[in-house]
Each structure stands twice: as structure tokens, then as C-alpha cells.
Chain A
């Protein structure tokens, strides 16, 4: 102890007693060319490392932009569809109805009995010619009926409806398909009765056989319902498991085994969870095939280990001094956990939950196995009605032969990405809200 200060004193005091130049002399070993060279090398290494990091970031940003740009450009077409303009003169058509009859639940049947399908066909032939009218979907009159239900005053005047063209004509309009259709599409377009219009219905309809009639709402609602089940099950179970394992469980062979199992579970391929869901959940609830309930349960199993692992890390990161401080004023272990540890670990737990939920939202394989790939033309009513989810819908559409599905698939991907973005922003908002510094 006593010799160290003396040495320092010598190093400073000794040369300083000499002339001024020898002060520099005492730092001489840092002024040699070799030292300068080493210094240069160190700086060069640092610059190179920085450039490499920037390059990696640049690369990933470029990939991301390419992906999103590609999806958006293709997806824009998916939000449009080829529509034929058909003016219908309701007073002339002889269709009768008033506000009460048109808003009644039986309105569609009444209109059908009054011959609305034939009326639509007639005006379509008048506006588009026989050839053009043939490219109108046979169910186009249902859109007209729906419009009348929405606005009963239409029946008193002439109104131009934009009705979906057949998928053949739609591909003709985009320069694909048969030469015959391309010519027809060109003629109709020149007359101003055929055009690509923004298709708001894409967000409110469900799956259909024709790309002109499909919508994403059914799959989106299925995804939302499935995610609700997943979150409601995986979050509390995951957080409680993490808290128990970190705060209460004794350190022994059993807890080691549990830890290893959870880590392994997080790495199990998702399709295995699908098989588990098929074997276990569908055996217990055979009537709920394709239901968001079963999908959610299956995905919850998959998400839980991710939440447990990130939760445990978040709890480990809470400084022990905070625990000691709370214990020392007489908090019980439970109060320490709920008043101090959990609030501080929550941001980290939410980060893990975001990652797990994002993975669950994009998961396809396990859901295929439990029957969520069925053709579902109506949005699910609840957690137990048949449904499909966004990634499965994308998978199904990408498999379709009809060219019209290509753009619809991209549009569905855009919706999926937007949903993901929304979910993540909400979670990040929550995380920042709970984040505390110490």
C-alpha cells in the first residue's frame, strides 16, 4: 500500500525537477513511430467495424424496402377490380318497394320474386351488349339488392351500378387471357363502361371462388379471434410460469429439467404443435374443427415458451437491490413480486410477447393440420365457428390457378403486414408506457 504512492511521486516529481523538455521525454514511449502505427491500426479497425455494421444495416433496410415495395406495388392491384357500369332505371323497370319493405329482412327474396335478376340482366344487355352482359356475374343482382337495402330511395330514380366483371374479362382488361376477351375488354373500355375501380368490398367480403368476388374480412376476423385466444391463454400462463420459476421455484433437478424442456419447446417446429392440436384438442372437441378456439389453443402452446423465456430474462434483469429494498421495509415476497418486480419486468415481457404473437400471427403450418384451411365463405360468428386466418388465406390464394388471385394474394399480404404493424405499434406503445428507469 505505502510503496505505490511513492512510485507515482517519483515519476511525476523526478523529471519535473529537470528542464521542461524531459517532461515530454517521460511520455517518450508513446511518441515512437511504432506506437503511431499501432494507433493508426486501431483506428482503422474501428472504422472498418463501423462500416461493416453500417453495411449490414443498409442491406437489411434494402431487403425490407424491396419486399414492402414489391408487395405494395402488386397489392395495389389487389385492392382494385374490373367493374362494369350498368345504369338501371327503376321507375321504368316496374320494381315496387318502399323504405319498410326494402329494409325488411326478407327484402332480397321479395326483390328476387319481383324479377330483379332478370331486370339487371336486361339493363346490362342494353348497356353492354349481349356479349358484355354475359361477362357479368350471375349473382350481380345481389349487389344491386344490397345497394337498394342500403339506400331505399334509389328505387325512385335511375342509378348507375358498378358491378363486378367476370374474372375472364378482368384478365382481358389487364392484357392477359384469351384474345377474344382482350378485344371485348378493349371495346367495353373504350365505351367507358369497363374500368378498374377501387374495391372497398375487399375489406368486407370473405373467400369466394372467383377472384372478382373474394374479400379478406373473413380471414382477418378469423386471425383476430385466434389471436385473442392465443393472447388470453399464453400471456397469463407464460408470465405466471416465468414469475414462479424465477421467484419461487427452488433450484433443483426438477426446475432444471423444466427449464430445459421450455427451451426445447421454443425450438420445436410449429407443424409439430399442429399435430399436437390435431391429436389432443380435436379429440377433446371434435365439433370445433377449423374453429379459432382450437387454432388459438394450438398457437398459445407455441407462443408460451417464448413468453416464458423472455419473461424470465426480464425478471433476471430487475436489480436485486430493488428486491432487497422492498423486503427490508417489510414487503412480503408476493408484494415484492407484484409491486416491484413485475412492473419493472413488464416492458421486457411485452417485448417477448410481441415476438411470440407476431410469430403466431404469421403461422400457417399448424393451422393447416387442424383444418383451418377449409373454404370458408362467411366470416366466423364466434370462437367456435369455422374460420380461416390471414396466412392460410394467403397460402390458399397463392395456390389458385386463376390469374386474378395473384394480385389478391399480394393485397392479402399487405393486410397481414398492416395488421402486424398495428399489433406491434400497440405493444411498443404499452412497453414505453410501462418503461421505468432506475
Chain B
């Protein structure tokens, strides 16, 4: 049984909603009938112990689970009221509207410029070189990387440091101007300083984009998010304002996890 705090039931106009979503890996049920509303102007954090299915659930929102042959998703997910599994929602278009940043920085082995320009190019957003240049500069600026790389846009994206690579990946995601950004433990492979920069960046980006972040660090969830959902064993246990989840959880399991009794 999922507990949803009363205070967020007032939230209106969810950007994305999931209803009774289950994910199966073959016969194994990794996510069990989860329903959630993602608010457009908040950062929503998914927390929970390893293997609880929070990353799997995140990947449902841009249909990245399609790439895993054995994975099967049931239930309904809507983006602005449109079913993302319906036939008139193209998966390529969906991923242009719902961007994703992965756990391990994965820049393309191309130049910094091409890393950013790739998305806009394949979607035909920048017909002219000047348009692309503008997109690259804007995206890198928003990702807080422009000052560090503006003189070496021709260098390979893989030559950057880990933290810079992750910000490059965030810049790559925002270059196609998405409405939602999914982040799958974006700072778990980074050192504390790089992590702080990423968190700062998430803070700056919130409001402009709906952000959903999966994290195993409760401090991180508390620092960057306004809404937190706690997952355990494939079920969403509790969902509410971050402050309430951390200071005043309703469910005992949430309380146990937050106080470090397991996980």
C-alpha cells in the first residue's frame, strides 16, 4: 500500500503521470503497480535501497526499457496527458521531450561541440551552423561548462574529467530542449566537489525543466529535491514533500531506511 502525503495532493497539472506501472524482467516482477504524479516545477527524487527498482522505474518514463528485450512494461504513463505507449507517440519524439542523464558519464567519443550538437542535428533543430553554435553555447552555459571548455570545443569529450563529462552529458540532454530530464544517480561516480557542482546545476535547472533524479544518497535527495518517493522491493512505499519524508515519515519502512536501519 502506497502512502501519498495529503500536502502534495494539491499539486496540480502533473507533467507526467504513471498509473499502475509494473515492469517484468522475464518472470521477475521488478516494479509492482506504481502510480505517481511528477510535478512540472519540482525536482522529484526516487530513493530506496539497491535493487528496489527505482532506476528501472525511471527508465519507463522515456521508454529506455524498450532496449532490454526481456523487459516488459504494463500500466499507463502519460506525458502532458498523452499516453507514451500509444501509437501516435513516437519513441524518438518522446526521448527528445524526456531527456536522460546516466549514472556513468557517457560522452560520445567525438568533440565537445559534436557531443552537444548531435541531438539538435538529428532532430533538425539547427539548420544553419550559426544556430547550432548558439545551441551549443546556450546548453554548455546552462550546464555551467561553457567557461571551462569554450576554448577547446574541438577536443574529445572523453578527455574531460569525470565531473566535466557528466556536466557535458547534462548539456547534451538539454541541447534538444526537453521538458523533463531523468537523472539516474548522476553523481554516484563523482568526487564530492564534482557532486556539489552537479547538485548546484540541478538546482539551477529546476523550474525550467521537470527533473526526476534517482539517488542512493539520502543527503543528496534532501539537498536537491522538493518531492521524494521512497521505493522498497519494487513498490513505492511513500511519496511526499521531501521535508516531510525526511523529518516526519508516515510509514515505518521509510522511517527505518532514513534512519539507516537497513539499506
- Point out residues on A near B: beta carbons under 8 Å: 250-251, 319, 321-332, 335, 339-340, 344, 436-438
Contacts and interface: CB of A to CB of B under 8 A. Distances in A.
A322 B106 contact: yes
Interface stretch (B43-51, B76-84, B168-176, B237-245): B168-176
A330 B108 contact: no
B92 A328 contact: no
Given A332-B92, A344-B109, A437-B158, A327 B173 contact: no
B106 A324 contact: yes
Nearest to B100: A328
Nearest to B96: A330
B122 interface: yes
B106 A329 contact: no
A330 B109 contact: no
Interface stretch (B31-39, B61-69, B140-148, B194-202): B61-69
B119 A250 contact: no
Contacts of A436: 109, 156
Given A327-B64, A329-B176, A321 B102 contact: yes
B51 to A, nearest CB: 17
Interface string B74-113: 0000000000000000001101100111101011110000
A322 B122 CA distance: 16
Interface in B137-184: 156, 158, 169, 172-173, 175-176
B67 A330 contact: no
B123 interface: yes
B246 interface: no
B109 A325 contact: no
B118 interface: yes
B176 A325 contact: no
B119 A251 contact: no
7 contacts: A319-B106, A324-B100, A328-B101, A329-B172, A332-B122, A340-B108, A437-B109
Given A322-B106, A436-B156, 20 more contacts: A251-B69, A324-B106, A325-B102, A325-B107, A325-B169, A328-B62, A328-B64, A328-B100, A328-B173, A329-B122, A329-B176, A330-B95, A330-B96, A331-B92, A332-B122, A335-B122, A339-B122, A437-B109, A438-B107, A438-B158
Contacts of B119: 329-331
Contact of B173 (A321, A329, A331): A329
A319 B102 CA distance: 13
Nearest to A331: B122
A275 to B, nearest CB: 40
Interface of B: 62, 64, 67, 69, 92-93, 95-96, 99-102, 104, 106-109, 118-119, 122-123, 156, 158, 169, 172-173, 175-176
A332 B91 CA distance: 9
A6 to B, nearest CB: 16
Given A251-B69, A324-B64, A330 B102 contact: no
A365 to B, nearest CB: 42
Nearest to B115: A325
A329 B102 contact: no
Nearest to A435: B109
Contacts of A437: 109, 156, 158
Given A329-B118, A330-B176, A438-B158, A321 B106 contact: yes
A323 B67 contact: yes
B99 to A, nearest CB: 6
Contacts of B100: 324, 328
Contacts of A324: 64, 67, 100, 102, 106
B158 A329 contact: no
Nearest to B118: A329
A343 to B, nearest CB: 8
Q: Among A328, A331, A340, which residue has the most Cβ atoms of chain B within 10 A?
A: A328
B123 A330 contact: yes
Contacts of A319: 106
A329 to B, nearest CB: 4
B93 A438 contact: no
B69 A250 contact: yes
A325 B172 CA distance: 9
B55 to A, nearest CB: 12
B102 A328 contact: yes
Q: Among B92, B96, B172, which residue has the most Cβ atoms of chain A within 10 A?
A: B92
Nearest to A343: B109
Ordered nearest first, which 9 A-B pairs have the shortest CB separation? A329-B119, A321-B106, A330-B96, A328-B100, A438-B109, A330-B95, A436-B109, A325-B106, A438-B158
A335 B93 CA distance: 14
B119 to A, nearest CB: 4
B235 to A, nearest CB: 24
Contacts of B104: 321
B169 to A, nearest CB: 7
A250 B69 CA distance: 8
Contacts of A325: 102, 106-108, 169, 172
A437 B93 CA distance: 30
A282 B158 CA distance: 53
Contacts of B173: 328-329
Contacts of A344: 109
Given A324-B64, A335-B122, A329 B99 contact: yes
Nearest to A323: B67
A327 B67 contact: yes
B140 to A, nearest CB: 15
Q: Among A323, A327, A436, which residue has the most Cβ atoms of chain B within 10 A?
A: A327
B107 A327 contact: no
Contact of B108 (A250, A322, A327): A322
A345 to B, nearest CB: 12
A249 to B, nearest CB: 11
B261 to A, nearest CB: 10
A130 to B, nearest CB: 77
Contacts of B99: 328-329
A291 B109 CA distance: 44
Contacts of B106: 319, 321-322, 324-325
Contacts of B176: 329-330
Contacts of B118: 326, 329, 331, 339
A437 B109 CA distance: 6
Contacts of A327: 64, 67, 95
Contacts of A251: 69
